[in-house]
Amino acid sequence: MKKFNSHFMLGAATAAHQVEGNNVNSDFWTMENVPGSMYKEPSLDAVDHYNRYKEDIQLLIDAGCNSYRFSIEWARIEPKKGKFDPKEIEHYRKVLGFCQQNNVTPIVTLHHFSSPKWLIAEGGWESEKTIEYFGHYCQYVVSELGDLIPYICTINEANMGKQITKIMKRMIGSDSKGENGDVQVGFNIDMKSKMETYYRSLGEAFGIDPRNVQTFLSPRTENGDLIIMKCHEIARTVINEVNPNIKVGITLSLYDHQALPGGEEYVKKEQYEDFLLYLPFLQDDDFLGVQNYSRKIHGPDGVVKPNEDTRLTKMGYEYYPEALGNVLRFVAEHWKKPMIVTENGISTNNDEERVEFIERALNGVHQCVEDGIQVNGYMYWSLLDNFEWQLGYEQTFGLIAVDRSTQVRYPKDSLKFLGSVNKFGLN
């Protein structure tokens, strides 16, 4: 049996807006509820993790896991610019305290896609002012909660805006309506319908010109990309000043890019734009959060779409758990510090397929560790079936199913399997 060492962090991940419910001061709540919304459905109560976090974390513990990655919601902490809510800080203090009391290592993300509504009205993620605002938010959170947080991911998938920009350019240049598989998780962009009405509604809701609505997942300019990295840098500086014991990193969405003959230059370009471009901003980080769901194959004309015989996930991209190990090896060629797999998973209605996915992915991780690559943990995405952004509640990534009419939890065999890896190892 192949086993990880006793310090290996094994657990699952969530994002606040996707699980907590009633995040009424966020930009996503606004986007879900405006007239002509492009969201399949609103998040509403989500899966009520805000009130049921103890039950959910306990299920993770009972299965045998020892770590939990979750995000603190900026829109709750600072619902109005400069006005911090001590009640919400106390909530996250309780979540962190519950983790610590039960020997669960918390990995906290300070920004996971959703932002305060007021931030977008102030110019959002294309505005230089956001750097200062994010620094103030981070300083407040770490000053209040830092003693309870061993690991912080400043920003989730900092490269996502650039990936979305590339996807939109590809879609504009084709007759495709877009495939869910174009983005690894959760953001299917429909370029053909409702855009004009939708953005007009957003402009009215945020009180700005519709052309200036810049959420974290809006197509990003080069300057916007730089602003994201400056936000990361100021967050890291603040965290190190307030509590130098906290290990600081960022997470990136990384595909396993593979080349057919003639596709080598496409792979090099994608690897640069997804990862290598960001390395100069990460040199003072303590770890890197690696997030991977599948591979992309590149031929002489670019990305090769899966054929009819390709095994696909419910999200529409290739079922290929080995992508994770390949990505970790690629990153390790350029990054000599620790890595944590902060997301990896599958949307499927067949839990046996999820168990197989986790086992194959973890075998790849274990082999990386055996080969001397510093991988310190694996967080499956996600702990719960949750609100998958624009796609609503149809996608099922979770280790725990939820009946949203009752909010009753139903742990799946995949949760039991994940937890068993620490005790029994892998075949």
Q: Which residues pair with 296 in a beta bridge?
A: 257
For tokens 């990309």, the residue is 225
Q: Are 259 and 201 in contact (CB under 8 A)?
A: no
How far is residue 214 CA from its own chain's centroid?
19
Q: Assign 373 to helix, strand or coil.
A: coil
Question: Among this protein's residues, is 157 annotated catalytic?
Answer: yes
- Is 408 exposed, middle or buried (CB count within 10 Å of its CB: 0-12, 13-18, 19+)? exposed
CA distance 29 to 50: 16
H or E, element range at 413: helix 413-424
Which of 32, 126, 157, 388 is labelled catalytic? 157
CA distance 3 to 16: 31
- In eight-state DSSP terms, residue 189 is -
CA distance 244 to 142: 11
Q: Are 417 and 3 in contact (CB under 8 A)?
A: no
Q: Which residues of 65-74 are buried (b: 16+ CB within 10 A; e: fewer)?
A: bbbbbbbbbb
Q: Active-site positions?
A: 157
